[in-house]
Amino acid sequence: MNTEAARLAGELQGWTRAAISRLLAERVVEGMDMLDAVVTVYDDLREGPGQVIPIGAVERVDEYEVDIEGTVSVLWKPSSAAINQVGLLEDESGRIKFTAWQKSGQPAVREGERVRMRSVAKNWYQGRCSVALTGRTMVSFLEGQGES
Question: What are the chain's domains?
Answer: 2-46 (no CATH), 55-141 (2.40.50.140)
pLDDT of residue 144: 60
Q: Are 108 and 102 in contact (CB under 8 A)?
A: no
pTM above 0.75, yes or no: no
| Tens-place pLDDT, residues 31-45 | 999 999 999 888 777
Q: What is the largest CA-CA distance in the chain?
A: 56
HEC states along the chain?
CHHHHHHHHHHCCCCCHHHHHHHHHHHHHCCCCHHHHHHHHHHHHHCCCCCECCHHHHHHCCCCEEEEEEEEEEEECCCCCCEEEEEEEEECCEEEEEEEEHHHCCCCCCCCCEEEEEEEEEEEECCEEEEEECCCCEEEECCCCCCC
| Tens-place pLDDT, residues 69-78 | 999 999 999 9
| Tens-place pLDDT, residues 103-145 | 999 999 999 999 999 999 999 989 999 999 999 999 999 976 4
Of 79, 67, 122, 114, the closest CA to residue 98 belongs to: 122
pLDDT of residue 16: 84
How far apart CA 97 and CA 107 sit, in angstroms, is 17
